[in-house]
Structure 1
Amino acid sequence: MSIETELVAVLANRCPNVYATVGPNGAPLPRIVFQHVGGRTLRYTENTSDLRNILMHVAVWTDDPEAAFALIRQIEDDLCAHPLLQVEPQGEPHAGIADGAEAQSVYGATQIFAIYGPRD
């Protein structure tokens, strides 16, 4: 079990369209895109840590701004209730910005989470 495997399972439970790093052009709505944005290195002198910490940026995209915020809040609740991962939201969600051909009909909400879990 990896942090990423558990994360994808939580996200896919809310939405079947889940993508790492970037969603493909024309991906159906709603969709979720997650991306690593850093984290703390949990290595000690004796190299005994069996934990990882990652910062994960999660973005949701829908055809309605209220639905985007509702979905990101559901994801926050799901992640914070996870039985194996320790999840700490790094602030409140904020509105996402879409660009490209479909930008006028796509609304987003994004949030960053610090996630602690087992090292692969």
Structure 2
Amino acid sequence: MSFESDLSTLLKTICVRTFPDVAPSGTAAPFIAWQGLGGVTLRALDNTPADKRNTYMQVAVYSLTRAESLTKIRAAEDAICASAAWIARPMGEPITTYEDDTKLYGAIQRFSIWAAR
């Protein structure tokens, strides 16, 4: 499996409605959307690629309550950091938000994840 499919499978254990990039319009809450935000590229001195790839990954949980969003993002943090499939570190605490147009509460957290290339 690829890193992204492994991540999606893992996040679906926390919330079955999990999507890359953005949830489809009208998706029922709660749901998770995750996005890659770049990362560190490693190359050897001879320009050959390293066997690992780094991705800055943003995970966003949207729910009907702030408490549920925070509970699910904490569960996502624990699961991502505990996975043996990669090495992950949170890049800070979750950011909380409220989307007035959807009436949903969000909790967003970023991770630096090293995985097989």
| Residues 96, 108 of structure 1: 8 Å contact kept | yes
Q: Equivalent residue for 1:13?
A: 13
Structure 2: which 5+ runs fail to align? Answer: none
Tell me by how many angstroms 1:48 deviates: 4.5
With normalisation by structure 2, the TM-score equals 0.93
Unpaired runs of 5+ in structure 1? none
Name the structure 1 match of 2:37: 37
Moved over 4 A (4+): none
1:115 aligns with 2:113: yes
Superimposed CA distance per residue, residues 79-105 of structure 1 (whole angstroms, 9 cap, x where no aligned partner): 1100121000000001034253x2x3x
After superposition, give the CA deviation of every residue in 1:53-89 in whole Å (9 maximum; x if it has no partner).
0000100000010110010000000011001210000
AA matched with 2:8: V
Aligned partner of 1:61 in structure 2 is 62
AA paired with 1:49?
A
Q: TM-score, normalised by structure 1?
A: 0.91
User: Is contact 1:17–1:32 with CA below 8 Å preserved after alignment?
Assistant: yes
Counting matched residue pairs gives 116
Distance 1:96 1:43, change over 3 A: farther
Tell me how far 1:107 sits from its aligned partner.
0.5
Quick check: 1:59–1:96 contact (8 Å CA) kept in 2?
no
Deviates more, 1:88-97 or 1:61-70: 88-97
Whether the aligned pair in 2 keeps the contact of 1:2 and 1:117 (CA below 8 Å) is no
* Identity rate, percent: 36
Q: Is the 1:23–1:33 contact (alpha carbons within 8 Å) kept by the matching residues of 2?
A: yes
